[in-house]
């Protein structure tokens, strides 16, 4: 599981850097400043959680069962949260109206919060 978490973190980090550069350069002329800031929020949260997964996958302080929960919550959370933000920010560039699935953004955010709470609970339950 640790290798899966670390590989996923590396992939999410790489994609985050690519999307950040894409947002800063390629989208600059195509979407509004507000939409660029929204896109950047998606990238920022993706990167935060890629780093979280690097920590989780490399830590011996987190139980394997908890790592698995954090991994799936974080992965699905990033897809729903950041993914929907990318769609909403670039909505004017597509024929699909991402606003109709905008309700998944807070669901993704809730999953990310839950991942952090599982990490917190793991540390509180630690025995020295």
CB atoms within 10 A of CB 109: 17
Q: What is the pLDDT of residue 123?
A: 95
Q: What is the pLDDT of residue 96?
A: 87
Q: What is the pLDDT of residue 102?
A: 87
Cβ-based neighbours of 70, under 8 Å, separated by 6 or more: 52, 53, 56, 62, 115, 118, 119
Residue 24's nearest CA partner among 46, 45, 42, 39 is 39
For the chain, residues with pLDDT lower than 70 are none
């Amino acid at each position: 599981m640790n290798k899966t978490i670390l590989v996923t973190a590396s992939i999410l980090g790489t994609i985050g850097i690519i999307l950040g550069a894409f947002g800063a350069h390629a989208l600059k002329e195509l979407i509004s400043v507000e939409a660029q800031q929204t896109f950047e929020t998606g990238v920022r949260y993706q990167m935060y959680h890629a780093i979280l997964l690097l920590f989780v996958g490399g830590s011996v302080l987190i139980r394997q069962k908890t790592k698995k929960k954090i991994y799936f919550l974080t992965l699905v959370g990033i897809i729903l949260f950041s993914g929907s933000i990318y769609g909403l920010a670039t909505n004017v560039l597509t024929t699909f109206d991402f606003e109709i699935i905008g309700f998944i953004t807070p669901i993704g955010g809730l999953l990310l919060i839950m991942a952090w709470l599982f990490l917190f609970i793991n540390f509180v339950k630690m025995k020295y």
